Structure 1
Amino acid sequence: MSMDAAQQWRDWHERRAETVSAPYGPLALIGTHWLADAVEGRIPAVPGEWREDDDALVLTAAPEDGITLDGKPFDGEVRLAADHAPVGESRLAQGARRLVVMRREGLWAVRVWDPAAERRRAFAGIGATPYDARWAVPAVFRPYEQARTVRVANADGVERGLGLGGELAFALDGREHTLQVAVEDDGSLWAVFADATSGDSTFRFRFLRPGAPDAHGRLTVDFNRALLPPCAFAEHFICPFPPPGNTLDVAVEAGERTVLTR
């Protein structure tokens, strides 16, 4: 085992715990409220009145709603687009809470993030398997001629589209495997996968972010850095389940396994 690689993994593992437990990290999400479920523009647990208007979400609020917009007390009406900035920099707030506007497949929602969330207070770390060099393997990315979208179930029980740009081929214990992957805007790859440990000694599925391939499509897939999805930390995320073919028939005894609580 390379001590440098093992130490790098330990540093990465510590940073992951710091990231998910940050004031507006995944543990702070306490609600995802869809506008389609609102009654007369009122969303439970979210102040103000909300309505859709073409390509914007319109909020009407009064002083007693206690909302701030861009750091200033808000009273009136404002058109809002989906937020893309970090949660802590969202335009809307109610005290320490952040109200984040999101849109998925044409549907609007408001997410509420609260640093005082119970799951954040109870967090005691991420259970993970110690680094093992055998789980870092060479791989080849094979892009599709055309990107494709498949419908997969999400953690909230709704089926949504998952964009895929190619497949990742690699070997584990002498056997060839492939995973369908998405290609991010920066060229890095992202996979949703399950394996023989899923739902048993690990969460029911995990994410893998191996980085970007080189000009020849080569890269290293390191399962030591298999990630728990956001919905492992808070049930209000809508993580996609693995697409067909992304359930490995081997036990990947590596990476993050579970959320530890006090």
Structure 2
Amino acid sequence: MTSDAADEWQQWHERRMETVSAPYGPLALTGTHWLEDHPDGHLPGIPGVWVLDGDVDADAGLVVLTATAADGLTLDGEPFTGSVRLGVDTGPVSTARVGLDERRLTVLIREGAWCVRDYDPGSAAHRAFRGVEVTPYRPRWSVPGRFTPYDTRRTVRVDAADGVERGLGLAGELAFRLDGLEVTLQVAVQADGKLWAVFADSTSGEGSYRFRFLYPAAPDDEGRTTVDFNRSVLPPCAFAEHFICPFPPPGNTLGLAIEAGERILRQVGR
């Protein structure tokens, strides 16, 4: 069983590396531009004019892009001139409606604030990437856990990687036993039922990135799942500083050394 688990982990790790190194993966993000910071509609390094029209509404498609032929933008794969109203890009970055040569420009909203993200498969981060330092699979880091939902969903304010405090939605607690200690993490529940934990430990900033993400499988009807720190991953902001990853919520900084999973990025010069 241990051999099977190690083989499954190796396959998971290889798929994960394919994802992070993909042309429009996290290494490609070169900018997150908040429209409220650019009321004239001119975004750094991005042609066209991008402005909000009307009240902020995530479903209304309120970002208006105006471009000329000289801007070189494309819309749905075709040269674009004129004006168009854009909503949030919900699909893969590679299918974003607006492009500039190989770059993709995506529209995003966070807590009522709209932004445009610039993805470039030729980014400096892509060129410098040499993989991720990861600890080989060890059975001791995979333990049973139990999820207990809160009576009502909670939102806590936490600092984010860009220095701005934002809300982090939490759905319940994940309890497990590790190295003889009872441990609890506050977690969110994703649309597919998987859990999401933002955590730090005593290796954070000392051999591992300052915090990491963990995605335990969807709990069964009794709340049972597996807490496998072998599958701890670096957050997107470890690959590009333009992501706005949340820091761990209160209680999710563990007094343990979680020497498992992804640790730090390998780059040219590091």
TM-score (norm 2): 0.95
SS of 2:193's partner is: coil
In terms of mean alpha carbon deviation, does 23-32 or 4-13 score higher?
A: 4-13
Aligned residue runs from structure 1 range 160-171, under 5 A: 160-171=166-177
SS of 1:33's partner is: strand
Percent identical across equivalent pairs?
A: 64
One-letter code aligned to 1:126 = V
Give the distance between the partners of 1:126 and 1:232, measured in 2 at CA: 10
Is the Cα–Cα contact under 8 Å of residues 50 and 59 in structure 1 kept in the other structure? yes
One-letter code aligned to 1:52 = L
Give the distance between the partners of 1:50 and 1:119, measured in 2 at CA: 26
Structure 2's unaligned 5+ residue stretches are: none
Among 158, 162, 165, the residue aligned to 1:152: 158
Among 239, 251, 259, the residue aligned to 1:253: 259
C-alpha RMSD over aligned residues: 0.9
Give the distance between the partners of 2:116 and 2:9, measured in 1 at CA: 35
In terms of mean alpha carbon deviation, does 99-108 or 36-45 score higher?
A: 36-45
How far did 1:11 drift?
Answer: 1.3
Residue equivalent to 2:29: 29
Residue equivalent to 2:73: 67
How far did 1:39 drift?
Answer: 4.6
Q: Deviations over 1:171-190 (max 9, x none)?
A: 11111010000011121100
1:134 aligns with 2:144: no
Q: Deviations over 1:91-140 (max 9, x none)?
A: 00000000000011111110000010011111111101111000000000
Is the Cα–Cα contact under 8 Å of residues 141 and 167 in structure 1 kept in the other structure? yes
Is the Cα–Cα contact under 8 Å of residues 226 and 254 in structure 1 kept in the other structure? yes
Q: Deviations over 1:199-248 (max 9, x none)?
A: 10100000000110001000111000001000000000000000000000
Residue equivalent to 2:49: 49
SS of 2:126's partner is: helix
One-letter code aligned to 2:180 = G
Residue equivalent to 2:191: 185
Q: Deviations over 1:122-165 (max 9, x none)?
A: 11111011110000000000000000100000000000000000
One-letter code aligned to 1:227 = V
Give the distance between the partners of 2:209 and 2:192, measured in 1 at CA: 28
Give the distance between the partners of 1:115 and 1:50, measured in 2 at CA: 22
Among 71, 82, 88, the residue aligned to 1:76: 82
SS of 1:182's partner is: strand
Residue equivalent to 1:14: 14
Structure 1's unaligned 5+ residue stretches are: none
Is the Cα–Cα contact under 8 Å of residues 61 and 76 in structure 1 kept in the other structure? yes
One-letter code aligned to 2:210 = R
Residue equivalent to 2:100: 94
Give the distance between the partners of 2:152 and 2:171, measured in 1 at CA: 7
How far did 1:196 drift?
Answer: 0.5
Aligned pairs, number: 262
Is the Cα–Cα contact under 8 Å of residues 35 and 116 in structure 2 kept in the other structure? yes
One-letter code aligned to 1:107 = A
One-letter code aligned to 1:18 = E
TM-score (norm 1): 0.98
Is the Cα–Cα contact under 8 Å of residues 208 and 263 in structure 2 kept in the other structure? yes
SS of 1:211's partner is: coil
SS of 1:14's partner is: helix
